[in-house]
Structure 1
């Protein structure tokens, strides 16, 4: 069976959109990795600040997951294809998983802060690729995603000061 043509009409050059799509797919993979790590820490946090951290991690995970659909749809709008599976995500992610049996709340805060800052850098690479391609839509929307990741990193930084 032949796969249908998934190309979406766009006035952007295909070689330029491919570069943007690759950057977006990297951001998508990192977003999913960060989402799952944040949920993992949400499920496993303990200690005197349990409620505060548990709720913050859940709020942040929800925000991260909300961006994933926007990233994937932006890839499709450029006429490209996006990630298809957990193994596809693992091939593209740069944010490392944390499979430890126990992580202290202080270490959770610091690790998620660093990962959100890494995601900011990934979003900046997306913006640079979009600027080069003349993809104004991607260039504009990525600013919101960057701001959200910076805010999450700030909250995690401030929470870690007392941890």
Structure 2
């Protein structure tokens, strides 16, 4: 017996289909980078060592929690625009621009510097997305992007300040 084809996801949106797709592409790229940054932050949280271990360990855990906390909202914005979002680790890998770090050992100073740069790269991607969503007249996404940008800038600032004594 042949299976009945499943109905396509049909979320109503007032965005033009091309604009909605462009917004979804930008958000899915941000989502992929958010997952990559989350996992790298947890990796460094698990493997940090040295005289400032406790401070760095706790800060990285807080930052990872904050990053993970944005992922659901990003994915739901994609769905609200009538599109689909990431489905797998492979999908993340194909879209992420933040590079993984699989090194056996990374010094605490290098961890903080790398994460600072990654958060600043995410800020740049968020700003690019802001231009895209503003052109699409997607006010809701535009406002949320401001919040996510502020969070990423704050993480970069904390990483910078913490690394000054590293």
2:89 aligned with 1:64, yes or no?
Answer: no
2:35 aligned with 1:32, yes or no?
Answer: yes
Cα separation, 2, equivalents of 1:38 and 1:74: 24
- Output aligned runs, 1:89-108, within 5 Å: 89-108=92-111
What is the Cα deviation at residue 3 of structure 1?
2.7
What is the Cα deviation at residue 7 of structure 1?
2.0
What is the Cα deviation at residue 125 of structure 1?
1.3
Cα separation, 2, equivalents of 1:4 and 1:48: 57
SS in 2 for 1:80: coil
- Output aligned runs, 1:48-59, within 5 Å: 48-59=51-62
Structure 2 unaligned regions, length at least 5: none
2:128 aligned with 1:125, yes or no?
Answer: yes
Cα separation, 2, equivalents of 1:79 and 1:140: 19
Cα separation, 2, equivalents of 1:63 and 1:7: 31
Hey, what does 1:80 align to over in structure 2? 83
Cα separation, 2, equivalents of 1:43 and 1:157: 20
Structure 1 unaligned regions, length at least 5: none
TM-score with structure 1 setting the length: 0.99
What is the Cα deviation at residue 126 of structure 1?
1.2
Show CA shifts across 1:77-112 (max 9, x none): 000000000000000000000000000000000000
Hey, what does 1:113 align to over in structure 2? 116
What is the Cα deviation at residue 140 of structure 1?
0.7
